[in-house]
Amino acid sequence: MSTKKSPIDALEKTIGYKFKDPAVLTEALTHSSYSNECRSKGKNVNCNERLEFLGDSVLSIVTSRYLFEKMSDRQEGDMTKIRAAVVCEKALSKFARNIGLGNYIFLGHGEDMNGGRDRASILADAFEALLAAMYIDSGRDTETVEKFLLPHIISEIECIGTAGVFVDYKTALQQIVQQVEGEKLEYVLIGECGPDHNKIFEVEARLNSNVIGRGKAHSKREAEQRAAHEALSLFGEKN
């Protein structure tokens, strides 16, 4: 009988968690480009987008709880800024690189050939999906996720304390808008173009349906940040 270990075994060893249902981990590692490629061949393979959605919430609650419990001297505004810095695409892609997550992602051929394994947006999304997979597989146990996630969060908070919290344009814009009761700020995806491995997303920041900023980037999150950055100039904010 062969005792050769699979790549998944190596990832489980790195993250310190053994999956009871390997299928949920496989789904977390499956990028939409791979899923689409399989579908074109008549195979139905789920991508990680649904898990990414759940993982975003798991990440937020774990991070928020840690900040609430460990930073009792901080005001809500400060904690919001710190959390934004910890859960942003830049930080999440760094966490993913720290565990070599890019080596395990299932990518379509074109995405793989065009540097997808080290693309920040793909790594960040896969990291969130991985958190969701751990959460589901452990029976919705946030403590299991915390055991893996908190060392990354704590390390990033320490870096933030040394270098200063990066400017979160969306939070800055929201804080200005909420000073006037009844104002509605939203971010609307108005277009996307380019091949799967190099998409460009365009987002508008709208205040009461009026466009106050636009942004383009390789991820929706970054496009929203750029739209907010542009919008801030309308309020006389220099960033």
Same-domain check for residues 74 and 143: yes
Same-domain check for residues 69 and 150: yes
Separation of alpha carbons 165 and 142, rounded Å: 26
Q: Which of residues 163, 187, 222 is at a domain's end?
A: 163
What pLDDT was estimated at residue 82?
Answer: 87
What pLDDT was estimated at residue 166?
Answer: 53
Q: Which of residues 163, 192, 226 is at a domain's end?
A: 163
Same-domain check for residues 173 and 135: no
- 108 assigned to some structural domain: yes
Percentage of the chain lying above the pLDDT 70 cut:
92
Domain of 41, CATH number, reads 1.10.1520.10
- Stretch among 25-29, 61-65, 75-79, 173-177 having the lowest mean pLDDT: 75-79
Q: Identify the active-site residue in 125, 128, 204, 224.
A: 128
Per residue in 32-46, pLDDT (tens digit) is 999 999 999 999 999
- 42 assigned to some structural domain: yes
Contact between 14 and 99 (Cβ < 8 Å) = yes
Residue range(s) defining the domain that contains residue 214: 169-234
Average pLDDT in the chain:
89
Q: Is 224 designated active site? A: no
Q: Which of residues 132, 147, 163 is at a domain's end?
A: 163
Mean pLDDT of 42-62: 96
> Strands across the sheet with 200-207, in order?
185-193, 200-207, 210-217
Residue 236 CA, distance from chain mean position: 30
Same-domain check for residues 182 and 159: no
What pLDDT was estimated at residue 6?
Answer: 66
Same-domain check for residues 90 and 176: no
Beta bridge partners of 214: 204
- 239 assigned to some structural domain: no
What pLDDT was estimated at residue 73?
Answer: 67
Same-domain check for residues 26 and 112: yes
Per residue in 140-152, pLDDT (tens digit) is 999 999 999 999 9
Separation of alpha carbons 233 and 239, rounded Å: 8
Same-domain check for residues 98 and 202: no
Same-domain check for residues 32 and 138: yes
- 83 assigned to some structural domain: yes
Q: Identify the active-site residue in 12, 49, 56, 196.
A: 56
Provide the Cα torsion 180, 182, 187, 190; round to 10°.
-120
Using the structure block, give the residue that is written with the tokens 């810095």: 85
Structure confidence at residue 3 as a pLDDT band (50, 70, 90):
very low
Structure confidence at residue 167 as a pLDDT band (50, 70, 90):
low
- 2 assigned to some structural domain: no
Q: What is the domain count for the chain?
A: 2
Structure confidence at residue 220 as a pLDDT band (50, 70, 90):
confident
Domain of 205, CATH number, reads 3.30.160.20
Contact between 176 and 185 (Cβ < 8 Å) = no
Same-domain check for residues 152 and 95: yes
